[in-house]
Amino acid sequence: MPGIGPRTAQRLALHLLRQPEERIKAFANALLNARNQVGQCQQCFHLTEGNECEICLNQNRQRNLICVVADSRDLLALERTREYKGLYHVLGGLISPMDGIGPELLNISPLVKRITSEETTEVILALTPSVEGDTTSLYLAKLLNAFVKVTRIAYGLPVGSELEYADEVTLARALEGRRTVE
């Protein structure tokens, strides 16, 4: 499984083997139920048990803002900040010609339909600062600028880090994303 190394996998396997059969069956059923009951929101493509996710159903969200992310993990990371109050759109990946992933394989057409049919005033691109993330951001900016204001989250130094240990690209992005001190 992603994020689990060989040693952790071994510890998990040994732990599961020591469990009573009833607990293993309950665990297996929980996994099957999650697989069968969790789908994608028809609006934003985030994970949900119903037709629409809790975020899209929440009328207190700023409905004129759409934050574009690559996948639900990114959405959940942004939600943990409790700072963003708008809606989301999950692309389902990033453009990566080397991996055979073009724009047609991502949830880009539904995004265009959303912003042209709703009263969207701004699309915020919150994509990974990588070759694929930058490629996807540039593609989306060119596509969407005709319809709506397109912005991108700033990139830079993590809180508590030292300048001397930062790489050149991170420092350059931090300088580009600077803002006025008030």
- pTM value is 0.83
**Residue 180 banded pLDDT, cuts 50, 70, 90:** low
Average pLDDT over residues 59-64: 96
For domain 53-152, the question of CATH label 3.60.20.10 is answered with: no
pLDDT, tens digit (0-9, with 9 covering 90-100), for 23-49: 999 999 999 998 898 999 999 999 999
Q: pLDDT digit string (tens) for 76-103?
A: 999 999 999 999 999 999 999 999 999 9
Task: Render the chain in DSSP notation, one character per residue.
Answer: -TT--HHHHHHHHHHHHTS-HHHHHHHHHHHHHHHHH-EE-TTT--EESSSS-HHHH-TTSEEEEEEEESSHHHHHHHHHHT---EEEEE-SS--BGGGTB-GGGTTHHHHHHHHHHS---EEEE---SSHHHHHHHHHHHHHHTTTSEEEE----PPTT--GGGS-HHHHHHHHHT-----
